[in-house]
Chains A and B, each alone.
Chain A
């Protein structure tokens, strides 16, 4: 609208409000004396994250060290299992597994199924005097 265009032009042509002469000096006097460099938050966060990660790794390593299983007498470490060669064994027998220093242990041979001299009982019988 033409009237709006005219009004816009009038608004743009308005003289600016005068500014108090003391205002600039007041603002300049209020500038902080020392300006601190901005905190490099990203560097602080990175350092904190690295320290936290290192702490977690150390804790995990210590925890795994504490949880290492007890080894039988004469053993200093558990060697990784070697690949089993095809066993020439009698049917029903379990091959003897050679595991490094455990090869000298006498595990004995046994046949399956195990032969029991007496039948196994799941529980001992209840004495009769306990019944009412």
Chain B
């Protein structure tokens, strides 16, 4: 996902560097461009983690609010998208801790497929996609997080390591483990009499 220099270290893209310079100079247009480039990916990431459209929206706004505060300290050692994912993940963890302390933690978490989709939207009309999303939603958060980051958000293991603040080797192992659990979930769905999934 990220371009790399000779040492293999990720760097921000040249156009992102230009955008960052404009932002640091106080350009409102640069801020707007940053939002347009990255808000959808951040929202989708948070939607997968939270399983709640409204919470994902709120956390997305909190993520960008934190980004405006911290952008001056962004050193460009990763792509901007990776950095935003890191902030979003931190916001999600903070929200989870707050939920555990409140009665809201007892509320049933609605599935993304039931909440996020517009009935007229055809995106999840695909049976296979809906089954896969449902299985993803049933995974515990740590497993779901690594699968979403790697396969849905397209982050490399190096980027994921920055987002999750874990070694890349650990992230890779967790991803493989999560993939195995997802496969078992799907197989259990099949053995319960669900229609066979297309191969």
Known contacts A17-B47, A31-B28; is-contact A11 B147 (Cβ 8 Å): yes
Distance in angstroms between the alpha carbons of A33 and B31 in the assembled complex: 10
Contact check, B25 vs A37: say whether CB atoms are below 8 A apart: yes
Asked if A106 is an interface residue, CB under 8 A from chain B, the answer is: no
Distance in angstroms between the alpha carbons of A24 and B132 in the assembled complex: 27
Distance in angstroms between the alpha carbons of A39 and B69 in the assembled complex: 12
Distance in angstroms between the alpha carbons of A31 and B53 in the assembled complex: 21
Of residues 96 through 152 on chain B, the ones whose CB sits less than 8 Å from some CB of chain A are: 112, 116-118, 121, 123-124, 126, 128-129, 132-133, 147, 151-152
Contact check, A7 vs B182: say whether CB atoms are below 8 A apart: yes
Known contacts A8-B151, A31-B32, A36-B26; is-contact A17 B44 (Cβ 8 Å): yes
Closest to B43 in A: A19
Known contacts A14-B133, A14-B152; is-contact A31 B126 (Cβ 8 Å): no
Known contacts A14-B132, A23-B57, A37-B25; is-contact A30 B64 (Cβ 8 Å): yes
Contact check, B199 vs A6: say whether CB atoms are below 8 A apart: yes
Known contacts A10-B128, A37-B24; is-contact A20 B53 (Cβ 8 Å): yes
Contact check, A24 vs B39: say whether CB atoms are below 8 A apart: yes
B138 to A: closest C-beta gap in Å: 15
Q: Which chain A positions have C-beta within 8 A of B27? A: 35
Q: Which chain A positions have C-beta within 8 A of B117? A: 18
Contact of A23 (CB < 8 Å), options: B39, B73, B118: B39
Interface residues on B, range: 35 or more
A94 to B: closest C-beta gap in Å: 72
A20 to B: closest C-beta gap in Å: 6
Contact check, B64 vs A4: say whether CB atoms are below 8 A apart: no
Contact of B44 (CB < 8 Å), options: A8, A19, A38: A19
Closest to A17 in B: B44
8 contacting pairs across A/B (C-beta < 8 A) = A6-B199, A7-B186, A19-B39, A20-B53, A24-B39, A28-B32, A35-B23, A35-B24
Q: Which 3 A-B pairs have the closest CB atoms?
A: A38-B72, A11-B151, A35-B26
- Which positions in A face B, CB cutoff 8 Å? 3-4, 6-8, 10-12, 14-20, 23-24, 26-28, 30-39
Excluding A7-B182, A27-B61, 20 further A-B contacts by CB distance (< 8 Å) are A11-B152, A12-B151, A14-B132, A15-B129, A16-B40, A17-B44, A17-B48, A17-B116, A18-B117, A18-B121, A19-B43, A23-B39, A27-B35, A27-B64, A32-B31, A34-B26, A35-B26, A35-B68, A37-B24, A37-B25
